[in-house]
Amino acid sequence: MEFTKCWVLPLGHNNPSQHYRLGQSGWKDAQQQRSWECWSTAAEHEPGSAQGDKEADGILSWISSGVASRSTAGIVPLYWALVRPHLESSAQFWAPRCRKDTGVLECVQRRAMELVKGLVNKSCEEQLRELALLSLENRRLRTDLIALFTHLKKQAVARVALVENIPEGINYSDSAPSHLSLFQGWMNLLNMAEKSVDIVSSQWDLNHSHPSACQNDLLDFQRVLHKLQFAFHKSESMLSWLIGIAMHMTQLSLDEYLDKYKGQRLFEKLLELASRNIEIKLVSDKLPVESKVLNDLKTKGEERNLYLCAVVFVMDHWLFAGAEVLYMNMSAYNEGRLQSSFWIVDKQHVYIGSASLDWRSLGQMKELGVIVYNCSCLVLDLQRIFALYSSLRYKNKIPPSWSKRLYGVYDTQNKLTLQLNETKSEAFVSNSPKLFCPKDRVLDIEAIYSVIDDAKQFVYIAVMDYLPIVIDTNAKRYWPYLDGKIREALVLRSIKVRLLISFSRDTDPLTFNFVSSLKAICTEVPSCSLKVKFFDLEEESACFLKEQRNTSLPKLNRNKYMVTDGAAYIGNFDWVGNAFTQNAGAGLVINQADTGNSTSIIKQLKAVFERDWYSHYAKSLQPTKIPNCFNHKLNKGTSNKTAISNVN
């Protein structure tokens, strides 16, 4: 969508001495100004690229017919002064992502090279080198270089913080570590946003359409409470008792209402940012029509901005049409799903973790993630994963080759060195599946391997599901990569391994087979140390039917991380074969030496694991500790009987 009533080009508008020119005329006087100054969300073709090609090609024709000289000294100055500004403006400011758009611009540059004698038989790279030029593809790296320069210039102190969502009613000891809430961490990021917010999420249900129903419940509750207070003469001493009666009479779950209210606040904050012309991009494997959150962020933002564009004729900033929803058709690539969950704010701050943009992640689900502040270099690498997703929007096949702009910046051999919380650290990001990994990009499975290989003393793993199999259409097959790596660490390197798996009514019975098999290899090996616990937030009531429960949703631990004595991995996947082979996800690896710094992210994550491990919610892998209802579930089938009999 283009808005034709926005007249001010926002390039250098804060610097009165900065002027942009195309030949002899300033950009504000150019005939193409209206087209260039407005933002386009066209999925396939950038009109600015076509306009730049047309203008540059016309000037090149004039040079070809009006200038007799074909020497480098005669052609190159004219090219630099007259042709190159059009190409660079299209390449840098429009930043065309389609190969077709970039191709037409490169075509003009190649035509210019043909005017110079002696370059015809040379390769494109040699021609560029001869004329001291860069390809347009490389010029698009300008934004990345600016981000790096800004980071070095500001010398901002990078810091990392753990964020958790602990459901109401989950109690730890008074001395147990606690961290910033997930909701407050997300709100802090949105409050810091000044230019852009990029979000990738597997779920989009903030329940912002349902609080009206909750409001009705709350009004019913207030009316009943008022009548009770009137009947008991507004006795203050009986207030808590009356509130309990009113909640019972209206069947209102206050926790559920507050959880949905958090989702509503998050939605309203995103809508507010869109109305302030902060660029919001949302990646999802759902179409906007399939998600009310996505559809409302897109359409309500458009309604607000259309109104602004109708009443305001002069503006000094870009005008965006609400949030831009980038749809990834995952089913067309490999029948997988989008499980990535990360945020990028102003290309400086990032969140990555287990929580998706879902009101349950702010309520009944126990989630964990990290927020890294003021680290443009690390964000740059994660931004390339976001750009990869963006390049696949509304497409049904993977391109034959990836653009260089999507290549990984850091990997296991070339990690980013930085200070995090005043501790010397190394970091890199990973991606999955292999189908989505361009050159130099680390796979999630490779990132996990590197963390386990670097461990010297212990490996602590906390996941919702542990199931090393791949389920195909008609069969199941063993997926040995993570399971085998744990066995190698246990037997060959004598690493202490602790495995904390979530327990719920949906836990696959085969999980018990695999963890029992892991325990079996340590039976006769004194140096082999493996312990497995199941984390049950419902305290052995997870198999109850919904109607039998006091709350409408069960509490569930959805952590997805690993910590060792020297590194941490925070990802988007449970340790299930299908997740790594088919689904899209990302991960963050942070290496830190043990310096005794209490703010070290390694120490904090280790303390969180030990808090959960030694809590009364963690049950050891013993038949007597398995809930009776789950025993009943396992005993339903012959294969399941075998599974339970193997638990030692």
**Is there a contact between 317 and 308 (Cβ–Cβ < 8 Å)?**
no
Helix then strand then coil, in percent of the chain rounded to 5, is 45, 20, 35
Nearest C-alpha neighbor of 163 from the set 344, 354, 444, 447: 354
CA gap 43, 34 in Å, rounded: 20
* Residue 129 banded pLDDT, cuts 50, 70, 90: low
Residue 309 pLDDT exceeds 70: no
For residues 147 and 346, is the Cβ–Cβ distance under 8 A? no
Q: Are strands 530-535 and 496-502 parallel, antiparallel or unpaired?
A: parallel
Range from 43-52, 124-133, 168-177, 501-510 carrying the lowest mean pLDDT: 43-52
Q: How far apart are CA 46 and CA 36, in angstroms?
A: 10
Look at 438 and 144; give whichever has higher pLDDT. 438
What pLDDT is attached to residue 13? 44
**Once rounded to an integer, what is the mean pLDDT over residues 163-167?**
93
Pairing of strands 423-432, 442-443: parallel
DSSP 503: -
Res 583 pLDDT > 90: yes
Amino acid at position 18, single letter: Q
Q: Looking up tokens 């109690």, which residue turns up?
A: 171
Three-state secondary structure of 226-241: HHHHHHCCCCHHHHHH
Q: What is the DSSP letter of 319?
A: -
Give the residues across from 573 on adjacent strands: none
pLDDT range class, residue 537, cuts 50, 70, 90: confident
DSSP 474-490: S-EEE--HHHHHHHHHH
> Between residues 366 and 130, which one has the greater pLDDT?
366
Contact criterion met (CB below 8 Å) for 580 and 444: yes
Cα 244 vs. chain centroid, distance in angstroms?
41
Within 13 Å of residue 609, how many CA atoms lie on the same side as its CB?
28
Distance in angstroms (rounded) separating the CA atoms of residues 98 and 586: 24
* pLDDT, position 198: 96
Q: Are 551 and 254 in contact (CB under 8 A)?
A: no
- The residue whose two tokens read 């800004």 is 150
CB atoms within 10 A of CB 537: 22
Residue 495 tokens, joined: 């690493």
189-192-198 Cα angle (round to 5):
55
Q: In terms of Cα–Cα distance, which of 47, 23, 45, 17 is closest to 34? A: 47
Least confident piece of the model among 215-219, 330-334, 404-408, 511-515:
215-219
3-state secondary structure 269-289: HHHHHHHCCCEEEEEECCCHH
Residue 148 pLDDT exceeds 70? no
Looking at per-residue pLDDT, the higher value among 264 and 19 belongs to 264
Pick left, alpha or beta for residue 277 (phi over 0 → left; psi -120 to 50 → alpha; otherwise beta).
left
Spatial distance between the Cα atoms of 527 and 431, rounded to a whole number of angstroms: 34
DSSP character at residue 361: G
Helix (H/G/I), strand (E/B), else coil: 567:
strand
3-class DSSP assignment, residue 307: helix
Write out pLDDT tens, residues 319-378.
345 788 999 998 888 888 999 999 999 999 999 999 999 888 988 899 999 999 999 889
Mean model confidence pLDDT for the chain = 74
Q: Where are the domains of the chain?
A: 21-140, 211-266
Whether 591 shows a pLDDT value over 80: the answer reads yes
Write down the residue that tokens 């913080």 correspond to.
Answer: 161
Read off the pLDDT of residues 4-45 as tens digits, 9 standing for 90 and up. 434 344 444 444 445 544 444 444 433 332 222 222 233 334
| CA 186/CA 301 separation, integer angstroms | 20
Tally the residues of the chain: 648
Contact 551, 253 (CB under 8 A): yes
CA distances from 375 to 158, 380, 417, 491 (A): 5, 9, 11, 39
SS3 571: strand
Distances (CA, A) of 157 to 109, 153, 199, 374, 569: 42, 12, 24, 6, 22
CB count within 10 Å of CB 1 equals 14
450-473 mean pLDDT? 94
Distance (Å, rounded) from C-alpha 610 to C-alpha 124? Answer: 59
Predicted pLDDT at 422: 85
- Tens digits of residue pLDDT in 79-108: 666 666 666 555 544 444 455 555 665 666
The pTM of the whole model exceeds 0.85:
no
Q: Which two tokens stand for residue 222?
A: 């207030």
pLDDT at 526: 84
